[in-house]
Structure 1
Amino acid sequence: MLWVTASWGACFVAIDWGLRDAPVLWFAALRSLIAGAALAVFAAIQQRPLPTGVRSWWLIALLALTNAGVAFAAMFGGVAGLATGTAAVLANAQPLLIVLPAWWLYGEQVTVRTGAALAVGFAGLLVVAVPAGGGKGAWLSILAAAAITVGTLLARRLAGTDVVQAAGWHFIIGGAGLAAVAAAVEGLPRITWTPRFVLVLAFLALVGTALAFWAWFTETLRSPLAPLAAWTFLTPLFGVAFAFVAGADTPAGWTAAGLVLVLAALWVVLRHPNPVAAAPPGRPQ
C-alpha cells in the first residue's frame, strides 16, 4: 500500500499543475474517463468477465457517483481553492470516517487504542482545517474524503465481481457524468494541451487512478478496513513533501503540526492493528 499512498500524494501536485491548463471539472472528467478506458481495455485483453446482475451494476453506478464523480470533482475543486499540501491533508480523512461504518456494516471491531489514535488523527486534521479558514476549498476537500470513504465501503461489496472490470466501468460511468456536469457548468472544454498537461494527465489517470484503485479495491476485499484505511494517512505526508519539493507551496506551521498528529495516529494503528473481524463475503477476483 506504500506505493499507492505515494502515488495519491503525488496526484495533488499533478492536479495543481494540470489546473493551469484545464478547468476543474473537465480535468477531473478526463482523469476518470482515461483511467476507466485503460482498465476496460486491459480487462478485455485478458478476457475478464463483465459484471452481471442488477446488484453488481447498481454497486458500480453508486461507486461511479461517489468514488469518481463527487470525489474527483470535490478533490480538484479543493486543490484549486487551497494550498496543495493542505488539500492533501483534508482530502485524506478516510481513516477517521470509516471506523463506525466498518463496525456497523461489517462487524469490524475497533480497540480503544485504535479509536484513541484515530481521534488524535482527527484532531490533526482540525489543526490543518481551522487555520485554513474553513472556506470552500477546505470543505470540498473534506467532501472528497467522505465520498472516497463511501466508495471504499461499497468496494467491499464487490466480492464475486471482477475487480478490474468494476473499477474500469465505474470510472467510465463517473467520468461520463462529470463530463456532462462540466459541459453544463464550464461550457466547452478549454484545455491547453501542453506537454506538461499531457504528462500530468497520463500520470493521474494511469498510475494514480487506474493502477492505484485496482490495488486499493483488491485490498478492500481481503483486509480489515480500519487498518487498511489508516495507510492513507501517509498520502498527505507524501502530498506535502512533493508539493514542497516541486515548489508548489511551503507547509505552514499549523499544517506541519497537524501532520505530526496524523502520523502519530498512523503509527499507533499500524503498530497495534485491530483484531481480525469476520472475513468479508466472497473472494476477490
Structure 2
Amino acid sequence: MSARGRGVGPPIQRMALGLITVLIWSACFVVIKASQGSAPPLLYAALRALVAGVPLLVVAASKGKLRPPAGSWAWIGALGFTNTTLGLAGMFLSVGAVGAAIPGVLANSQALLVAPFAALFFGEVLSRGRVLGLLVGLSGIAVVLSGDGDGLVTVKGAAFSLMAAGGVAAGNLVMKHIGCRVDGLTATAWQYVLGGLPLLGWALVVEEPAEVAWTRTFVAGLLFLGVVGSAGTSWLWYHLVRDGELIPLNALTLFTPVFALGLALLIYRERLSAPSLGGVAATAAGVMWVSWPRAEAVEAPGRRLGAR
C-alpha cells in the first residue's frame, strides 16, 4: 500500500495508538518478571503464544477469515517463527537472565535493525538525519551492552534480548510485505499458533520437566500477556505497520525502555548505573530523531519484498 495521502509521518492518532501499544509491551516485561518462577521460560512463552493464538483462530473461523490467501502460508509461517518463536523466546529468556529493565532496552533495538531494510525493500527514506539518529541510538545500545559493573548485564542475557530484537525486526518486515494481502486477524492468529507450537516443542526438549504453579498471579499474568500483550497489541500493530512507514513507527518501540525502566524501578527497585542510564538516554534521543516527521519520508508506491 502506498503511503500517499497519509502525510509526512504517522498521524497523531496512529502515533497515539503506537505509544499505547508500546506501553502495554513495556508492562509485559514487568509481568513476566513477577510471574516467571511459576513456569520455565520457554514453556511460559509457548503458553503465552497459544493463549493468544487459539482464541483468535476461533474468532477468525467465526468470521470466515480462517484461511489466508493462496501463496501466503510460507510468509505467515515466517512471521510466526520470527515474531513469535524467536521474539518470545528471547524475551522470556532475557528477563530471567537479566531482569525487567535492560531487556526493555535491548529487545526493542529492533527499531534500529528495521530501518535499513525498510529503505531497501519498501523504498522508505533513510535520510542523513535518520542515519544520524540510528547511530545515536546504536551508541546507546552499545553503552548498555558494556555493562554497569554490577553484573546486571550478562553476555547471555544480552544475547537473548538481541535474539528477540532480531526476530521482531524480521517479523515487522514480513508484516509489511503481506499486510495488503492477508487480513490482520488471520495473520495474527496463525502467527501465534504456528510460532507457539515450535516454542512448546523447544521447551519440552531443553527444559527439565516441571509442573506449572497455577497461582492467581501466574494465571492473571498469563491472561494479560496472551490476550492483551499479544493478541490485542499484535492485531493493532499489524494494521499500524500495514498502513504506515516502518522507520518512524518502529522508532516508537524504543520508548519501551523509558516505560519499562520506570515500572521496574517503581516495582522491583532495580538500580541502574550512570553509564546504563546514559545509554538509555542516547537511545531515546536517537528515537526522537528518527521518528520526527519529514516531508520526504514517503514510501515508494507498491514496493514490496521480492518486487521486481
Q: How far apart in 2 are the matches of 1:42 and 1:67?
A: 21
In the alignment, which of 167, 175, 184 is matched to residue 205 of structure 2? 184
**Matched-pair identity in %:** 32
- The aligned counterpart of 2:215 is 194
Within a 5 Å distance, the mapping from 1:132-281 to structure 2 comes to 134-158=154-178, 159-247=180-268, 249-273=270-294, 275-280=297-302
Structure 1 consecutive aligned stretches of length 4 or more whose deviation exceeds 4 Å: none
CA offset digits 1:178-231 (Å, max 9, x no partner): 111111111445210000001111111111111111111111111111111101
1:105 aligns with 2:126: no
Gaps of 5+ in 1: none
Q: How far apart in 1 are the matches of 2:302 and 2:164?
A: 25
- Structure 1 contact 233–266 (Cα < 8 Å) conserved: yes
- Structure 2 contact 101–257 (Cα < 8 Å) conserved: yes
TM-score scaled by structure 2? Answer: 0.87
Two-structure CA RMSD over aligned residues (Å): 1.6
CA offset digits 1:120-141 (Å, max 9, x no partner): 0111111111115551011110
CA offset digits 1:250-280 (Å, max 9, x no partner): 3332221111111111222233446111245
CA offset digits 1:53-91 (Å, max 9, x no partner): 1x2110111111111111111111111110211111010
Shift of 1:46: 3.0
Question: Which amino acid in 2 is paired with 1:171?
Answer: Y
- Structure 2 contact 87–164 (Cα < 8 Å) conserved: yes
- Structure 2 contact 48–222 (Cα < 8 Å) conserved: yes
- Higher mean displacement: 261-270 or 161-170: 261-270
- Higher mean displacement: 84-93 or 261-270: 261-270
Q: How far apart in 2 are the matches of 1:90 and 1:255?
A: 12
- The aligned counterpart of 2:39 is 22
Q: How far apart in 2 are the matches of 1:280 and 1:38?
A: 33
TM-score scaled by structure 1? Answer: 0.94
Shift of 1:47: 3.1
Within a 5 Å distance, the mapping from 1:71-110 to structure 2 comes to 71-110=87-126
Q: How far apart in 1 are the matches of 2:168 and 2:244?
A: 17
Question: Which amino acid in 2 is paired with 1:197?
Answer: F
- Higher mean displacement: 16-25 or 270-279: 270-279
Q: How far apart in 1 are the matches of 2:256 and 2:27?
A: 8
Aligned length: 281
